[in-house]
Structure 1
């Protein structure tokens, strides 16, 4: 939670490059590849992008332009515009002309390619950035060390070494990394007296002098026209100087930057807001996103960015700091909406133990409290600091503008999420009430049916077959009643066994459904089962729903005189698992052509209004819940077969 190296980096992007990027961002669909090409020519801009999002191992294998493009797209149009607008207040200039840096970079790149250096983009960056460490653009006394700067970009230490050597003589230095000699040769070819130093460059690289001359000529041709920035329509090709006014003195840039920052986070989900803020903070001078705190309805401050394990956000959230805490400067800044700071003396806590702990968790002696405000929300940012010096007013405004936009977006997203959850809960309540009413109304005819079945059984007490059928009917009516009542409740764990014996289940179903579905229509139903079939790893109620669906479909499709055979095979290996197979085979007309193309997907049924066309799709979903599968084969005029594979119970 400390200021990044970039916070000391005040070099401006090249005026032509910055204005070109701003024009390109005005397009409805920005050409990110072209924008990345412009950024790759700019020492300050390329460095800032890589500091904001360091390179991953091996990422430069795709090319520098591709790496910069990914970072530009991650930043987004509005945030990139806001950052470029905000950079205009410094007005510092590099020590050399932009053309000199680009010429040196291109020479280093082409020399690396000619000498088969495995990472030519590193040579390009060495040439492009060589002038930066000695530039007046570094704030006095805050120049970062080159190894740290390069490491923060995800680049190897050899690049830092090449940038560090300013006047050293590579010829007299003995053995050294090839990147150092490539940069030394590129510097010689980039000077005004390059023709006189061709032999030196050739000696450093091992190339022929003629090859070096041809290479330098090609680079000069490329830069003479192809690398020029396009001129804005209706304006001369000269770039305007960077504005030197502070934002507080430039109301147009002030308003534009604030609006763009707000737009950069609006309508994003929390994860995207956090990701965008993570890359934006280094651009605006913060190494990592500060802690953002927001006041809740209970008067306590809570983290807005989420709280990862062992993070300062988590620990600060566990403080449960109240807004009316009279000892904490965090609470004071949130209440008063005025900036304030805490700086410990390195000893024991002073007035506020909470502030002392927060500073320790942030890894610095103190922190700045920056009120973010907006739309009646109480929000503050905690920025770690090692200095008692107050934040510059303009720097504080930049932090507040960036972090405030993110905080407002996070709170807006949280409100939308809560509103959606509340609407869904209300909808669920209405649905449950509706189902309960239906279940209550349906219980009346179910009661009549059960009473009539009981009376029929009493009229013929000696008919054992009738008694068995009445018992099965009563059980099915009880099942319907249970399903209706449970439809309005949340799913709960039941005590039903998670396995069943398929042959016994099929026999019960034939007793109950054989006559109404098949016998009354003169359709043959034949059951075949091997002996000692092990239990299937699926509850009886779930498999019963599957089998009943297939039996009903067959009875509706077959004509009198046709036949359905249901077979149970005890052991089939499917994808390395022991399964039980249930096979339905009929000699009917087959599925309709339009249905045969994808029989297991839901689609409108041709059977009539009472059919929804969901049967086979539901069957497949039920089987999938228990690790089962369903296969279908059909042929017009020859019949249809369904194969059900259900895993066997492990203990079987």
Structure 2
């Protein structure tokens, strides 16, 4: 076979979403997730009925996002415990969405039924045999039997006619090891190698991949091999639909040391168990007994071989490979139904967004993003490199030590990560025209992949970091064909990360405000306490000189009143900051006076800023909103103080009887004599943005002011100050 064809990567065994699943199993699992009584054991049992769902669970559970240093095991209960219910549900839901919108396949339903029956029978038989010979991991043996023929589906979804041929090709092979040889002649690969390649990406501490790779070898070659390899070989041989020959039982006996009666009994019990399952899983058994003649199959193989030979000689081999390329198929589907594709993508984003949105801190969100990438794109090895605000470098997230030690300079030597960052587009390290950098090679070696594919994470023109994925040459065309979905995922991840950070900044700012008010209130209360204490000391001194005289009632009354005032002042220490003290209404004038005194002491005078008040002499009473008004005024005065230098001035004024659209308002204005605001800044003034002040300011104060004003039924406005600077106006409804 020409080397050019042999080296061309046509089949991507990691594209599990392209492979068909048993609809009944998906439905049962989705129902189970809605039940309050669902257990890991039940979810593992249901998942274990389907090879693709089992493979997806194992792939994500053994991905970088879920590793945490735990042993990598081929066990569904362990995998589900690692994933958690929400992640497992996301895997099932995204699989269901993909399957419901996937284009029709050419694989006959009867061939799929035969495939599922054989896989289930092999799995159940492998587990029974493992228990019989005291193999330490019977569930691993079960999964090995369930997944051993997964490579057939990988080939079959690209060439549907070939799937039927592969199901029957064993009748033409003179020995088991000839089956993969015939497949290599036809498809330039075989199902054993494809299945093993998939399992190897999980990096299990097991001989799982070897068992799949060698399950068609002759029994004599497997003597002395690891027990899992021998178990799978025997289970596969004895779980064929037709009754095995006596020679098959003899070879099984030589590999496992079990007599023929024990082997027959195990086979009978496994088949009976699967027959009982078939009806519940929607598997049609009526066609499994009928088989095409070997001559018919041979004719199809000869036809396929002849066609391939013609293409090799006339240079058209790329047409066959292109016809099976998932990127070409996906592009055709998008061209036929762009609306359906958009619905598909956004439905997928809805599922992963739910998992991201449930994260309550940044570390949990980064893990969720990594898990969702593994679920959605079948890329178990992925990692986020986020921009460090102090250094500007791209640093790995902290939940993997080795990756956290990799710090990427955006302006340093070119690599896939900083290309994605600088150019704000998807980048990869498998381009033959661009040599892989040191960073590219380090990531590939660390992940044991052939290269990396990198997505920039940006939102509202702010670049947050890069998501790097470990990929192979086989995976790259599939992922490139999903460029739109990759970009949509990157935007979703960046949006959730920005949302969480903004929420954390809001929370931190509210805590800072609360601490500031509490500290200043304590200072003000202590100041007020000193006056009555001074009077008390004076009167006590006076009384001490009059001990020989009669104490007058007026003097005793003064002492009593001052002591009561101390009680009231100290009582205020136990009141919530800004708590409502007057049920009849809110005295806006008094609120401004009280808070201005605190803020002048804390924010203005220490920085050489003059705070002036222009207030009405009579109280202006509003129906509600003491806490909200204090928060608005605090934000406006603080923003003004932060914008001014020493010698600046802030004026707070209140004006009554403002009529707007037939409604009466009170106007509270905060004016400063600073440099003012450019028009382009004023246009987006009340939107959350990145502040230009530095020092950790988030630019959120004015957005909060607008939100709080609207909460009271009012408005927040801004206009230039005639003498220079800006005036921020808040209109508060009188009724």
Structure 2 vs 1, CA of residues 313 and 286 (structure 1 numbering), >3 Å: closer, same or farther? farther
Kindly indicate whether the alpha-carbon contact (under 8 Å) linking 1:147 and 1:157 is maintained by their aligned counterparts in 2. no
Secondary structure, in 3 states, of the residue corresponding to 2:407?
A: helix
Partner of 1:587: none
Cα distance, 1:423 vs. partner? 1.1
Is 1:68 aligned with 2:80?
yes
Q: State whether structure 2 residue 366 is matched by structure 1 residue 315.
A: no
Counterpart CA distance in 1 for 2:189 and 2:527 is 77
**Conservation of the 8 A alpha-carbon contact between 2:454 and 2:466:** yes
Gaps of 5+ in 2: 1-11, 159-186, 288-328, 413-417, 548-565, 575-735
Query: Which position in structure 1 is the counterpart of 2:235?
Result: 186
1:530-569 Cα shifts (integer Å, max 9, x gaps): xxxxxxxxxxxxxxxxxxxxxxxxxxxxxxxxxxxxxxxx
1:158 is the counterpart of 2:176 = no
**Alignment partner for residue 110 of structure 1, among 128, 139, 143?**
128
Deviation at 1:402, TM superposition (A): 3.1
CA contact (8 A) 1:293 1:381 kept: yes
Tell me if 1:16 matches 2:23: yes
2:93 to 57, 75, 81: 81
Indicate conservation of the 8 Å contact 1:170/1:180, yes or no: no
Relative to the length of structure 2, the TM-score reads 0.49
**Cα pair 2:122 2:146 within 8 Å, conserved:** yes
Structure 2 partner of 1:606: none
Task: Between 47-56 and 370-379, report the one with greater CA deviation.
Answer: 370-379
Quick check: 2:86–2:355 contact (8 Å CA) kept in 1? no
Check the 8 A contact 1:11/1:137 in 2, yes or no.
no
Of stretches 125-134 and 153-162 in structure 1, the one that deviates more from structure 2 is: 153-162
1:133-148 alignment, distance < 5 Å: 133=151, 136-137=154-155
Deviation at 1:113, TM superposition (A): 1.3
SS at match of 1:47: helix
1:632-643 equivalences in 2 (<5 Å): none
- Which residue is 1:121 aligned to? 139
Tell me how far 1:115 sits from its aligned partner.
2.2
Q: CA deviation at 1:181?
A: 2.8
> Please, what TM-score do these two structures have when normalized by structure 1?
0.54
- 8 A Cα contact 2:222 2:229, kept in partner: no
Displacement of 1:110: 0.7
Match of 1:511 in 2: none
Residue 530 (structure 2) aligns with: 443
Which residue number corresponds to residue 206 of structure 1? 257
Give the counterpart of 2:468 among 375, 378, 383.
383
Structure 2 CA distance for aligned equivalents of residues 212 and 357 of structure 1: 54
Q: Which residue of 1 aligns with 2:423?
A: 333
**CA shift for structure 1 position 137:** 3.8
Match of 2:356 in 1: 265
With over 3 angstroms needed to count, the CA separation of the structure-2 counterparts of 1:451 and 1:274, relative to structure 1, is same
Residues of 2 paired with 1:329 and 1:254: CA distance? 26
**Superposition deviation, residue 130 in structure 1:** 1.8
Counterpart Cα distance in 2 of 1:345 and 1:203: 50
Q: Deviation at 1:369? A: 5.3
Distance 1:60 1:310 in 2: 22
Shift of 1:389: 7.8
Report the alpha carbon displacement of residue 436 of structure 1 after superposing the two structures with TM.
1.4
| Counterpart-to-counterpart distance in 2, 1:369 and 1:214 | 53
Structure 2 counterpart of 1:37, from 42, 45, 50: 45
- 1:52 and 1:282 in contact (8 A); partners too: yes
1:193 is paired with a residue of what secondary structure? coil
Residue in structure 1 matched with residue 384 of structure 2 by the alignment: 291
- Contact 2:458–2:491 under 8 Å retained in 1: yes
Q: Distance in 2 between matches of 1:181 and 1:343?
A: 38
* Alpha-carbon distance change, 84 to 59 in structure 1, aligned in 2, over 3 angstroms: same
> How far apart, in 2, do the equivalents of 1:58 and 1:302 lie?
29
Q: Which residue of 2 aligns with 1:612?
A: none
CA distance in 2, matches of 1:300, 1:315: 10
CA distance in 2, matches of 1:386, 1:189: 35
Residues 464-479 of structure 1: matches in 2 within 5 Å? none
Alignment of 1:594-633 (within 5 A): none
Cα deviations across residues 359-407 of structure 1 (Å, max 9, x unaligned)? 5664589865545555665456353678798885542233333333222
Contact 1:339 1:368 in 2 (8 A): yes
Seen in structure 2, the aligned counterparts of structure 1 residues 215 and 366 have a Cα distance that, compared at 3 Å, is closer
Write the distance in 1 (CA, Å) between the matches of 2:433 and 2:477: 19
Question: Quick check: 2:61–2:83 contact (8 Å CA) kept in 1?
Answer: yes
- Give the structure with the larger helix fraction: 2
Deviation at residue 414 of structure 1 after TM alignment? 0.6
Q: Is the 8 A contact 1:17 1:39 kept in 2?
A: no
User: 1-side partners of 2:465 and 2:478: how far apart?
Assistant: 15
Instruction: After superposing the two structures, state which structure 1 stretch, 24-33 or 171-180, moved more.
Output: 24-33
- Contact 2:19/2:153 (CA < 8 Å) preserved in 1? no
Kindly tell me: are residues 165 and 371 of structure 1, through their superposed partners in 2, closer, same or farther at Cα, counting changes over 3 Å? closer
For residues 162-181 of structure 1, what are the structure 2 equivalents within 5 Å?
Answer: 162-171=211-220, 173-181=222-230
Q: Report the CA distance between 1:319 and its aligned residue.
A: 5.1
Look up the match of 1:426: 513
1:276 counterpart = 2:284? no
> Partner residue of 1:395?
482
In 2, distance between residues paired with 1:156 and 1:389? 27
Q: CA deviation at 1:12?
A: 1.3
Q: Larger deviation: 30-39 or 305-314?
A: 305-314
Cα distance in structure 1, aligned partners of 2:79 and 2:391: 45
1:48 partnered with 2:56: yes
1:383 is paired with a residue of what secondary structure? strand
CA deviation string 1:605-651 (max 9, x = no partner)? xxxxxxxxxxxxxxxxxxxxxxxxxxxxxxxxxxxxxxxxxxxxxxx
Question: Is the alpha carbon distance of 1:215 and 1:89 closer, same or farther for their aligned partners in structure 2, counting shifts above 3 Å?
Answer: same
The CA deviation string for residues 494-523 of structure 1, in whole angstroms up to 9 with x for no partner, is xxxxxxxxxxxxxxxxxxxxxxxxxxxxxx
